[in-house]
Structure 1
Amino acid sequence: SFLLNSVRWGYILATLFPLVFGVINFFVIQFRSSPLMPWDFLSARTALSITDNYSFTFNYRFVFLIIGFAFLMICAEKMNLKIKSLRIRLAALILTTICMAGYVTVVKSERTTETFKLYHTLFAPKRIYMRNGFAVAFITNFRYLHVQKPVGYTPKKAKEIMSEAKVQDVSATSPDKHTSKEVLLKDKPNIIVIMNEAFSDLSARGKFETNEDYMPFIHSLTENTIKSDLFVSVKGGNTANTEYEFLTSDTMAFLPNGSVAYQQFVRQPMPALPNYLKSLGYKTTAIHPYNSKGWNRENVYSYFGFDTYYSKTDFKNPKKIRDYISDESAYQKIIETYKNKSPEERIFTFEVTMQNHGGYDKDFPGFETSISLSQYDGKKKSDNVRAAEQYLTLIKESDKAFKDLTDYFQKEEEPTIILMFGDHQPADNVAKPILKLNHINQDSSVEEFQNGYIVPMVMWANYKLESRDIPMISPNYLSGLLLSNAGLPLTGYQTFLENLRKTLPVITGNIYIDKDGNYHQFSEDSYSELLNQYSILQYNHLSDGKNRVNDFFG
């Protein structure tokens, strides 16, 4: 009002501002099951690019709130009060600005959180917003815009931890127990990694029956195969975080809750799996059958050392399922990169698929749902049941495409290892029919809530691989597991993590799990020394480029 010299427009804007934020938050929660964060505005372009596949649904409370806000703005339209004195307006404007700045500064401080006993340790961000209120929770997150330095961090301390990691032996994790780098590199395999969009097995949420198996090939795959439940840090969105954890071996546990590392913290070249494999002679290729700039991938892939990056525009007449390029066509691009290499070359190809992306409650011409939830047959099906059935149909298509890919490389003489894992589960609305069947309240315990963060991991090779099931793992450990089973040397960082995995097989942005299967939150003191060592190494890797020990990270 003081800035515009109009109570009318000041009141309208003051009403419109929270309305817009509230509506955005409402839909963000619908799409990915977590609330709006300050850094989400960095992802606005990526988010807007996929909204066509979503249905915008409203409930009666949403409509009543819109009507209420509209009524307030109509009332404001009748106000004609103006302040003629410029001096009074400027004084009031300065005072208001100081008060607002003071409020933000006080609210985002840790002392305020402690004094008013604000929620900040729960594993569900949505609950924090519900308990603290949108404004307080949103502003509090501003203090997480930068990575905090770990307790006791110095470059010297990081080097001490590194020196200890280098002398530890992890050769037992390698199937051939090679001791020489030259021997390891003599007959190296092609390496293919697929991070499959929203790929998950909903049986992690509870038991249910379907008219046919939605994942027949992967469920039956046993020969030369390693499988595990992969615990990830995100659900329903923020795909790039799982990708970041895999490619760097860092964890979201030491980064701000809800942040996106690709957009906030990766700002320059840094050691990662692609440039390490490039140093071993691999030709490195990234593939993503969608927009090239999503999640800042165009820059990040260059920073990480990919030689080539293929995006949506590099696919000619691909098969589409719904509005996205299918996994079948996506995998044909992998085969194409393999065919185009010379016989003496080895490839590392990393693909992030798009077929299964969210938006499961719309009808698409040419796409028919083939999987049905048997317990709901013969009943009127809700939007959530139809979404679950569409989702499971997509998973079956992914399963078939993965079978075709492995069938192709099974016939090839060159050794090839393929790792596929999901980036996250779909948003909670897809799992609601399953939770309902099993009478499950996902907020009843940390363990139950974390079932929403489990996705499949499957590693297959066309050569002799010791088949086994690993009970649980997290993405930060996957590159070490992959290189060990490819018969390749580990970096110092991966060596440290392979030893850490023996004690803490899962570390995510939400929880960590010890070797006995106990779930822990980061507010606990359990294993604090081990976690602190890891956080010191990660800080040196990601945030202290000036003092980074590049050789340790590869």
Structure 2
Amino acid sequence: MPKSNHRLSAIGQKIKKGFQAVGRFLFVRTEHAHSERFEKVVDVLNRYAVLFHIALSLSIVFVVELISRRSVLSALNFIRIHPLAYLYNSFIVFASLMLVFLFRRRGFFRVLITSFWVLLGIINGCILSNRVTPFTYTDLKCVSDLLSMTNTNYFTAQQATAVVFGFVIFILLMVALFIKGPRYQGKKHPVAYPLSVLAVLFIGIPAATSAATNTHIVDTYFYNIAQGYEDNGFIYSFSSSVVNRGMSKPETYSKETIDTIENQVNTQVAKTKSSKPNIICILLESFVDPEELTYLKTNKDPISFYHYLEDNYTSGYLTVPVVGAGTANTEFEILTGMSMQYFGTGEYPYKTILKQTDCESIASDLSKIGYGTHVVHNNGGNFYSRANAFSMMGFDTFTSKECMNITEFTPNGNWAEDAILVNETIKALDATEGSDFVYTITVGTHGDYPKQPILDNPEFVVTGANSEESANQWTYFVNQAHKTDLFIQNLVTELDKRDEDTIVVMFGDHLPTMGLTNEDTVPGDIYKTKYQTWNNMGLEKQDADLYAYQLLASVTDSVGIHEGTIWKYHQNELANNEAKLDRDAYLNGLENLQYDLLYGDRFAYNGEDLYPATEIVMGIDEVVIEKAQRFEISNALMLTGSSFTPWTRVYVNDSRVDSVLVDGKHMRISLDDVEDGDVIQMKVLGSSNSVFRVSNEFVYDDPTVEDTETTEE
């Protein structure tokens, strides 16, 4: 055998022995594995376990707050300003540590429980580094969405790999600790220990929580979720997001309450005649008017058309339920007229109640009077479970990015440019004969906003930012905002060409993730964005500041449309706003209606399901295969047709084959993947390979194969 082979064999043996040694050290339990000093420490910890748990709980909460706030001073300030909230958070951790008394491997379970809380804090710190809103239980329901969005502002493929690697190492160390770690050798009390644990978990926690909430040591509802986490502590706040989901039944909820609200609204809302105009509602992702920021200046106006609309058509401030992230919750308020304040901490109704219950919305109400209802969005159809949610809300069609032939992306490479939405919105209007409601969602001004300059000679330059990195971020943002402004202008220009009454309303879903504070904004409130309108009907300019859940009630009221349970309720409030109605009574009525429609007996519908989910159609255009052409030299089969997109996949006899998109009308596959008589079909796929659209079945006729019947003749 050559010497090199001997050398390699020897190296291989050494590596093998090394792994075996590590394995024995970590995973093979031996007698007298621990030193006498170590055993004494373990004995002390067991003897004074409760005191040790108190100290450990206080330490865990401090570490979690330190990680979440990313500042020692901020963590210490939390303890100084909210000492009782700090102690209550510590009691939650202490209660969880009581579980170790049920096992002999107490050290293992202490490390496991400690790691659990610290890991949650690390996740929260990472999330807060990318957005303003903290980590909640409902975020876990978005994991599948995020996994389909690598190399975006949420996380990179490298970061995902590092997380997986770190998790594997942690699991291996925990397995080693389980095997090699100390075991409690004292007498276990079969009754006393379990009873003590149960008493703390099921009596102590509820009693402490009731006392803490009744004395306002901690809050039961966070209007500002970010501030709520700051004031109440991460561990209580996250735990609240786990147990406090859905809506609680209002104390005043009853059939009589709902009947009274309905009778009052039906009596007071005017029944003016409507021209049933087209209604275009546009969500402007992370959009803020640069002039609304107190410290920022631009060399020239990047959103001049937006300001033209503000000067000439109805506009105002819009109070939204989120900041920095959580688009789906502003969207939920806009489309349903319902308020997020009655849901659990950090909840996304799209991910919870709308998974199982249909929901009256502006789409279902306008459908009742003959409207076609459509959604257009240049991002994934499954993100935030939108395809399901829009079905539950009664939309007819949903054109997501998978149904668009997107070729232009933002400079950061993460998102589609908004220009494509002009044609897609017009296409939705053309899909039906009558009036339409089109909900268009932009994405061009979405983060991540690069801290390094990536634009060559940007047209719009900012000054006033507090750092070079911030200036780069705002320069990127305002140049993208200019593109959004062009999209709005081009869409309005196309709408103005049509001989159809039309009203457009556009709004910012939340402020961008730039660390903005109330003092940084002109209205002094980071939960206020702006909305603008346009119409070709000569409607009077009537500026008003609104809540997100009131916006479409105001728009439909302005054109004489009075449909829908909650919309009429809001219209009644808006019509009587000058009378300064009791806002508490107004919100109590909204809470009762909202609970009735989503969780209650649907007294407003006489117990019936008046707005069932629709069989939503993904996209407007049919995907069609028209012909196939062989190219022997390149061993390719060119498929010609229409409505091909980057998310269109080719199937031969129902088995997926590799394909290359040439353009919207041509797709190429290998000749090796198809034979004479095979059935070729195309499918438009969303995330997790969900099928959004299916083409016709095209039977391949290979011209090189001789026709047997013709030969026999």
TM-score tier by shorter-chain length is: 0.7 to 0.9
User: After the TM superposition, which of the residue ranges 232-241 and 456-465 deviates more from structure 2?
Assistant: 456-465
* SS of aligned partner of 1:280: coil
**CA–CA distance in 1 between the matches of 2:221 and 2:429?**
47
**CA–CA distance in 2 between the matches of 1:41 and 1:367?**
39
Answering whether residue 265 of structure 2 is matched by residue 265 of structure 1, we say no
Which string of whole-angstrom CA distances, capped at 9 and with x for unpartnered residues, describes residues 412-459 of structure 1?
112222221111111242x36xx8xxxx378xx9x73xx211222111
Q: Which of the numbers 308, 318, 334 marks the counterpart of 2:425?
A: 334
**CA–CA distance in 1 between the matches of 2:456 and 2:196?**
59
**CA–CA distance in 1 between the matches of 2:390 and 2:114?**
42
**CA–CA distance in 1 between the matches of 2:588 and 2:269?**
21
Q: Which of the numbers 172, 182, 188 marks the counterpart of 1:81?
A: 182
* 8 Å contact from structure 2 (residues 258, 604) kept in 1: no
Q: Report how many aligned residue pairs link the two structures.
A: 492
Q: Which of the numbers 330, 339, 342 marks the counterpart of 1:242?
A: 330
* AA aligned opposite 1:332: N
The within-5 A match list for 1:163-202 is 163-170=263-270, 177-178=272-273, 184=274, 187-202=275-290
Q: Match for residue 508 of structure 1? A: none
Q: Match for residue 563 of structure 2? A: 490
Which structure has the larger Rg?
Answer: 2
**CA–CA distance in 2 between the matches of 1:48 and 1:92?**
42
* SS of aligned partner of 2:314: strand
Aligned-residue Cα RMSD (Å) equals 3.7
**Residue identity (%):** 23
* 8 Å contact from structure 1 (residues 491, 552) kept in 2: no
Q: Which of the numbers 535, 541, 547 marks the counterpart of 1:467?
A: 541
* AA aligned opposite 2:559: A
* 8 Å contact from structure 2 (residues 245, 343) kept in 1: no
The within-5 A match list for 1:255-404 is 255-266=343-354, 267-321=356-410, 322-341=413-432, 344-361=433-450, 369-375=458-464, 381-404=467-490
Q: Match for residue 151 of structure 1? A: 251
Q: Match for residue 114 of structure 1? A: 214
* 8 Å contact from structure 1 (residues 491, 553) kept in 2: no
Aligned-residue offset at 1:226: 1.6
Q: Which of the numbers 341, 359, 370 marks the counterpart of 1:253?
A: 341
Q: Which of the numbers 135, 138, 146 marks the counterpart of 1:39?
A: 138
Aligned-residue offset at 1:275: 1.3
* 8 Å contact from structure 2 (residues 314, 533) kept in 1: yes
* 8 Å contact from structure 1 (residues 418, 461) kept in 2: yes
Change (3 A) 1:94 1:36: farther
* SS of aligned partner of 1:320: coil
Change (3 A) 1:364 1:264: farther
Q: Match for residue 519 of structure 1? A: none
Q: Which of the numbers 501, 507, 513 marks the counterpart of 2:574?
A: 501
TM-score (norm 1): 0.78
Aligned-residue offset at 1:158: 0.6
Answering whether residue 226 of structure 2 is matched by residue 126 of structure 1, we say yes
Change (3 A) 1:203 1:553: farther
TM-score (norm 2): 0.62
Change (3 A) 1:545 1:291: farther
**CA–CA distance in 1 between the matches of 2:576 and 2:235?**
39
* SS of aligned partner of 1:31: coil
Aligned-residue offset at 1:89: 9.1
* 8 Å contact from structure 1 (residues 195, 351) kept in 2: yes
**Structure with more relative contact order (C-alpha pairs < 8 Å, separation 6 or more):** 1
Q: Which of the numbers 496, 500, 516 marks the counterpart of 1:414?
A: 500
* 8 Å contact from structure 2 (residues 222, 228) kept in 1: yes
* SS of aligned partner of 2:374: strand
* 8 Å contact from structure 1 (residues 54, 362) kept in 2: no
**CA–CA distance in 1 between the matches of 2:495 and 2:580?**
35
**CA–CA distance in 1 between the matches of 2:146 and 2:580?**
37
Which string of whole-angstrom CA distances, capped at 9 and with x for unpartnered residues, describes residues 443-500 of structure 1?
xx9x73xx21122211112332223422x11121122222233343333532221221
**CA–CA distance in 2 between the matches of 1:375 and 1:100?**
52
Q: Which of the numbers 514, 527, 530 marks the counterpart of 1:453?
A: 527
Aligned-residue offset at 1:231: 1.2
Which string of whole-angstrom CA distances, capped at 9 and with x for unpartnered residues, describes residues 173-200 of structure 1?
xxxx42xxxxx3xx53222211121112
Which string of whole-angstrom CA distances, capped at 9 and with x for unpartnered residues, describes residues 139-180 of structure 1?
244452131122311022111111011010445xxxxx42xx
* 8 Å contact from structure 1 (residues 204, 452) kept in 2: no
* 8 Å contact from structure 2 (residues 336, 549) kept in 1: yes
Aligned-residue offset at 1:546: 4.5
Unaligned runs of 5+ in 2: 1-99, 157-165, 612-713
Change (3 A) 1:135 1:408: same
Unaligned runs of 5+ in 1: 58-65, 172-176, 179-183, 506-513, 517-525
User: After the TM superposition, which of the residue ranges 392-401 and 349-358 deviates more from structure 2?
Assistant: 349-358
Aligned-residue offset at 1:28: 2.4
Q: Match for residue 123 of structure 2? A: 24
Aligned-residue offset at 1:340: 3.9
* AA aligned opposite 2:564: T
User: After the TM superposition, which of the residue ranges 249-258 and 309-318 deviates more from structure 2?
Assistant: 249-258
* SS of aligned partner of 2:249: coil
* AA aligned opposite 1:476: Y
Aligned-residue offset at 1:100: 4.2
* 8 Å contact from structure 1 (residues 161, 533) kept in 2: yes
**CA–CA distance in 1 between the matches of 2:270 and 2:610?**
16
**CA–CA distance in 1 between the matches of 2:368 and 2:216?**
52
